[in-house]
Amino acid sequence: MEIDETNLCEKGHIANSVHTKLADEEFEEYEEVDALKSEEECAAKSKEEGDDIKCRFCWTNEATEENPLIKACLCQGSVAYIHFMCLRNWLEVKRQTKISSNFSSYYWRTFECEICKKALPLQIKI
């Protein structure tokens, strides 16, 4: 079997795979999530939902463009939102690492919310 190499392309996270056409390559999909980027947005959402919006880990309601409160799973109420940086830190703690002389491997036993069991998005678009 011969492959026409004029249309072959390697990109994205699938750099070890060969694609016969550019259109065949599918990048990982972003999951758009609810995000609160300011304390004013938090206050408005709290008033709307009738529940005090806080990060489920650090229990503060501070939110900024760089560290918004996001809703990345199906949880509701007081555990619905988490700061972006709190989520990153939690994932760092859950990460398993295997280091050898030539490479390092990182993996997670489960990459899901421990409460609702929804798989966490690999990429988040706010």
What pLDDT, in 10s, does the model give residues 45-95? 888 887 788 999 999 989 999 999 999 899 998 899 999 999 989 888 888
- Using a 10 angstrom Cβ sphere, with 0-12 exposed, 13-18 middle and 19 or more buried, the burial of residue 64 is middle
C-alpha span between 124 and 78 (Å, rounded): 21
- pLDDT at residue 126 in the model: 65
Residue 7 clears pLDDT 60, i.e. is over it: no
Position 103 confidence tier, pLDDT thresholds 50, 70, 90: confident
What does the mean pLDDT of the chain come to? Answer: 78
User: Beta 31-32 vs 124-125: how paired, if at all?
Assistant: parallel
Position 19 confidence tier, pLDDT thresholds 50, 70, 90: very low
Mean pLDDT, range 33-41, rounded to an integer: 87
- 126 or 33, which is more confident? 33
- 112 or 14, which is more confident? 112
Domain ranges of the chain: 30-125
C-alpha span between 35 and 65 (Å, rounded): 9
Topology of domain 30-125 in CATH is Herpes Virus-1 (3.30.40)
Residue 20 clears pLDDT 60, i.e. is over it: no
